[in-house]
Amino acid sequence: MSLQQSLAAVRQRIEQAAKMAGREPRSVTLLAVSKTFPASDVAQAAAFGQNDFGENYVQEALDKIAALRPAWPALQWHFIGPLQSNKTRDVALHFDWVHSIERLKIAQRLSDQRPPELPPLQVCIQVNVDGEASKSGVSPDEAGALAAAVAALPRLRLRGLMCIPAPRADVAAQREPFARLRTLRDAIAAEHRLTLDTLSMGMSADLEAAVQEGATIVRVGTALFGRRAAAGAVQP
């Protein structure tokens, strides 16, 4: 399948799931996860109307952003991987979104380092919905306190929550952790009086379940660009 065909197929999956859930398909943003794939693939997707791209590795992403910004200045770049403190400046300078906030210290650095001439960096808090020891993200119990602290940072704009659940066999089972993330988002928004309009959830294998539970951003790599080489497939 060509990239044009797989983009159309993924958009179709989103549209069908949205319709089933009585949602407007446009309320779901497709984030194309281009990690490990070259800038030429991103340019091709951009030419087919794809606007949002997700990256996990800072240096790889910076190279692509530098190569593509001149021709495609309006693309939105989302950082979705684990973020160490020595990389926050690069992310604050070059990205539009960060989905993987799990520590206040990292959020503070991003806020401090976000240049004043750029709009605030849009961020989501990553929640470890399944409590897996090996997975990134804050526990559901700690998410509210972190959200309140992040929302107070001047150069960040907290948009919502993100999760990467453990794989599950069928759509009914896949929906369960996504429903919990939505409930948690609603509870945090009410308790801390925050506007949280974003649920970043759903990937190639479970995007229908996520859309049915209210995802506003689905992060899709494999179904668009094909399988990643093993060495690059560190995340999730």
Ligand X SMILES: *Cc1c(COP(=O)(O)O)cnc(C)c1O
Residues that bind ligand X (CB under 6 A): 33, 35, 56, 80-81, 164, 203-205, 219-223, 235-236
Report, in Å, the least distance between residue 235 CB and ligand X.
Answer: 4
The DSSP bridge partners found for residue 55 are 79
Q: Which is nearer to ligand X, 10 or 155 (CB)?
A: 10
- The DSSP secondary-structure symbol of 170 reads S
- Triad 54, 55, 56: Cα angle to 5°: 135
Dist CA 76 CA 58 (whole Å): 15
Report, in Å, the least distance between residue 58 CB and ligand X.
Answer: 13
Q: Which is nearer to ligand X, 30 or 146 (CB)?
A: 30
Dist CA 29 CA 199 (whole Å): 10
Q: What is the bridge-based pairing of β-strands 52-55 and 76-79?
A: parallel
The half-sphere exposure of 98 on its side-chain side, counting CA atoms within 13 A, is 36
Report, in Å, the least distance between residue 13 CB and ligand X.
Answer: 12
State how far Cα 34 lies from the chain centre. 12
Q: Which is nearer to ligand X, 164 or 188 (CB)?
A: 164
Q: Which is nearer to ligand X, 69 or 227 (CB)?
A: 227
The half-sphere exposure of 68 on its side-chain side, counting CA atoms within 13 A, is 27
Report, in Å, the least distance between residue 195 CB and ligand X.
Answer: 24
Report, in Å, the least distance between residue 234 CB and ligand X.
Answer: 8
Q: Which is nearer to ligand X, 150 or 164 (CB)?
A: 164
- The DSSP secondary-structure symbol of 119 reads P
Q: Which is nearer to ligand X, 155 or 182 (CB)?
A: 182
Which of 16, 64, 58 minimizes the C-alpha distance to 37?
Answer: 64
Report, in Å, the least distance between residue 55 CB and ligand X.
Answer: 9
Longest CA span, the chain: 47
The helix (H) or strand (E) run that includes residue 100 is strand 97-101
